[in-house]
A and B are shown apart, each in its own frame.
Chain A
């Protein structure tokens, strides 16, 4: 509520100092925490210079502004730094059912206020070489590698946090036996997709790639993610 003077003075009467002081005191209290949202003009008046400058958090590579936050991470075509989804970590070449961490692909974002939506764009490129141990005609994705994007609400603390990747961001990097495409021939593919969460809450999200594979190696040689979230 706007400032309202508690006392009105009458012409021809003596101005009492305490009444004058009350008016001034009330004004002081209004200025020191008495302003409420209803006192703001309802006509749009906020201009660019009124908005606080955005801040950048280098640890999570998060850019926080008034209307929203954004973050991005990526690895370009730097072939000396492959990351892998592979069977080596499980020593299994069939019936692989556990999603595994794909190192170097995770990004985190902290949402400081309750957003309306969290929006993620991602892409990655992978190569799966042919392999003499591959048998054809089995279930989809196997032999081969299945790579999906994981959007996990919170910190990745153990393997169970990785087990619910999004189906619609997946890709199968299937492999073939040497007889079909020739020994040493790789299958290269580029994937991209989008994911949105409405009203995700103000919390930390861990975003990255998980995979499961029966292959000696499927190389993920390029990866990028762009994250946006809007609070208003």
Chain B
């Protein structure tokens, strides 16, 4: 409490030393711990804020980092792939109530073509409805694992997601894709009689060799607020994952839930224009930005 003491000598009475002393020492006590009762409205401006205070509790932006990875690598379909692993220079603590703002971007070259002559593209059958999915995982002390609100591909999320042979197909629930980013995948096949498909071929092309393999940058942002109450989580690293080729599906049990399923199983052996090792994606110039801000 930092209210100043009041002392009003009554007329006709004798002022004693203790009362006078209490007045002055009371002022000293009050001014040793100034608080809200001593600061007027709008009394705190930029100039009153200590930027590099040791009292970290008042800091709004508690963590900010940017990490780049310019390495280029090509990934085939058929398995989860690690695109980039960012080991944070300083562990990123997210306290209960803190908001983690994460931004990442990648440059992608989607390589898929059964075309050896680009001019033939106009005569080919274009197939859409598939994509590559990117997502994040974090290391909070037990190795890399899913971030809350983000699931990995597995065969156990929904039952009955099977191929024609009855084998489970890896899939990810669409309501657990907090950090994910989908990049559309276009495939082409030669026009042949209905029911017959050419074996899908990847033809390595460079520069302007294929109209479909233009490099382009895609980005994704998401926010995660650490629940209250909970514990502080310390993030040592974050990695970008990719899986393809995937398509949208629905829970076979009838719940209506959506899912992303991989297209590299025998179920699609009769339609090889999606999935398989021939579908590749090249990823380079990856960037990850992390910001943690305190609850206000």
Write the residues of chain A forming the contact surface with B, with a CB cutoff of 8 angstroms.
Answer: 2-5, 8-13, 15, 20, 23, 27, 30, 35, 37, 39-47, 49-53, 64, 66-68, 112-114, 116-117, 119, 121, 136-140, 143, 167-172, 174, 176, 179-182, 187, 189, 191-198, 230-232
Contact at B45–A66, with CB atoms within 8 Å? yes
- Residue B91 lies at the interface, judged by CB distance under 8 Å to chain A: no
> What total of A-B pairs shows CB separation below 8 Å?
189
User: B24 and A2: CB pair below 8 A?
Assistant: no
Chain A residues contacting B211 (CB-CB under 8 Å) are 176, 180-181
B289 at the interface (CB under 8 A from A): yes
B46: chain A residues within 8 A (beta carbon):
52, 64, 66, 112-113, 231
Residue in A46, A119, A143, A189 whose CB lies within 8 Å of B291:
A119
Is there an interface contact between A45 and B35, defined as CB atoms closer than 8 Å? yes
In the complex, the answer to whether B20 meets A193 with C-beta atoms within 8 Å is no
State whether A9 and B36 are in contact (beta carbons under 8 Å apart), knowing that A51-B42, A51-B44, A119-B291 are contacts in the complex.
Answer: no
Which A residues lie within 8 Å of B199 (CB)? none
Are A230 and B60 in contact (CB-based, < 8 A)? Answer: yes
Contact among A9, A180, A191, A198 with B217 in the assembled complex (CB-CB below 8 Å): A191
Q: Known: A5-B25, A180-B118, A230-B60. Is A140-B32 also a contact (CB below 8 A)?
A: no
* Contact string against A for B residues 89-103, beta-carbon threshold 8 Å, 1 for contact and 0 otherwise: 000000000000001
Given contacts A171-B216, A191-B217, A232-B49, contact A50 B41 (CB under 8 A): yes
Q: Which of B31, B59, B216 has the most CB of A within 10 A?
A: B31
Q: Residues of A contacting B44 with CB < 8 Å?
A: 46, 50-52, 66
Chain B residues within CB distance 8 Å of chain A: 2, 15-18, 20-21, 24-25, 27-29, 31-36, 39-46, 49-51, 53, 55, 57-61, 64-66, 68, 70, 103-105, 107, 118-119, 121-122, 206-209, 211, 214-219, 221, 285, 287, 289, 291, 293
**Cross-chain contact of A232 among B16, B58, B121 (Cβ < 8 A):** B58
| C-alpha spacing A45/B293, complex, angstroms | 19
B219 adjacent to A193 (CB under 8 Å): yes
Residues of chain A within 8 A of B118, CB atoms compared: 180
Whether the pair B33, A44 counts as a contact (CB closer than 8 A) is no
Task: For the complex, give the distance between the alpha carbons of A206 and B68 in Å.
Answer: 22
Cβ distance A214 to chain B, nearest Cβ, rounded Å:
12
Query: What is the CA–CA distance of A14 and B104 in the complex, to the nearest angstrom?
Result: 77
Chain B's closest residue to A179 (CB) is B119
Partner of A39, one of B32, B49, B219: B32
- Chain A nearest Cβ from B196, distance in angstroms: 28
14 A-B Cβ contacts within 8 A?
Answer: A2-B33, A5-B28, A10-B17, A12-B17, A15-B17, A37-B50, A43-B35, A51-B44, A66-B46, A136-B208, A138-B208, A174-B214, A180-B119, A192-B217
Smallest CB separation, A129 vs chain B (Å): 14
Contact A174 B208 (CB under 8 A): yes
B70 touches A167 (CB 8 A): yes
